[in-house]
Amino acid sequence: MTKNTLIWIGAIWILSNLLLPLFLKSFERLYQSKIDLTVHKLLKVISWLFLTAFQLILIVFFAPLMLILKFLQIINSNIIENESIRASAIYEIFNILSPKFWQYAHDQMHLMKKKDKEEIICNKLDFNTRPIDALLISEEAIWRAKSYEEIEAILDDVQYYEIVRDKVNCEIEVHTKKGKKQNEIIVMIECSRLSFGKAKYFVCSKESGVRDIESDEAF
């Protein structure tokens, strides 16, 4: 946790402890003649509960949020050079509670452990239409996809999402191999119910993004 984060948390904690009692005293003075002992005690209990709840929210939500923002800042400044991916990191701040964010964070933590940035395969997007939705596809993420729901999540908002959309109960197998060029990976998606055939091939690379290829080019 950074020094600035601790300062912010400390400042809010102190203010919450000071302002609430001051508010209660002002309330008492304003309505002193109209408040009996029971109501006075009840107000104290309510104010104490409010203060405790506020501080719990501060600990449970605010501190982890600051850490998440710091994590995204590290990704934005030190790991990723692609501008569309930077835009995505900022965009994902507003989707912190979404499954996409947690999958994205998990993949980034995995990539940060790698010494070679060649593990960053390609951008999960159509480069000409929605750069703000750019997310990374890692080889590990592709290998994990063994069902319709998982492959749908990986390819969501991508030009290749049409491959599996509305193919209910489709059993999918995903295979990957290193491409002929550096920083390139070939992905093959097999599905018996695909309208265009039993398999679809495409190439991902950091330099050129995503493009379709024929089977004879792939293997």
pLDDT, tens only, 11-24: 766 766 666 666 66
- For residue 60, give every residue at least 6 positions away whose Cβ sits within 8 Å of its Cβ, in sequence order, or none: none
- Cβ 107 vs Cβ 140: under 8 Å: yes
138 and 76 in one domain?
no
Query: Domain tally for the chain?
Result: 2
Torsion of CA 155, 161, 164, 166, to 10 degrees: 120
Residue 53 has pLDDT above 70, yes or no: yes
- pTM confidence score: 0.25
Domain-ending residue, one of 112, 137, 158: 112
Distance between CA 133 and CA 130 in Å, rounded?
Answer: 6
- For residue 120, give every residue at least 6 positions away whose Cβ sits within 8 Å of its Cβ, in sequence order, or none: 80, 111, 136, 138, 206
Domain-ending residue, one of 112, 136, 161: 112
Angle at which helices 63-74 and 83-92 cross, to 10°? 180
**Computed from CA positions of residues 126, 131, 134, 138, in that sequence, does the dihedral angle turn out positive or negative?**
positive
The pLDDT of residue 216 = 63
207 compared with 118, residue with greater pLDDT = 207
Average pLDDT, the chain: 54
Distance between CA 189 and CA 215 in Å, rounded?
Answer: 11
Taking only the tens place, the pLDDT of each residue in 104-130 is 555 555 554 443 333 333 333 333 333
Distance between CA 54 and CA 211 in Å, rounded?
Answer: 51
140 and 90 in one domain?
no
| Residue 88 belongs to domain spanning | 3-112
DSSP designation for 59: I
100 and 131 in one domain?
no
193 and 141 in one domain?
yes
Domain-ending residue, one of 42, 77, 112: 112
Distance between CA 142 and CA 135 in Å, rounded?
Answer: 13
**Computed from CA positions of residues 163, 164, 167, 172, in that sequence, does the dihedral angle turn out positive or negative?**
positive
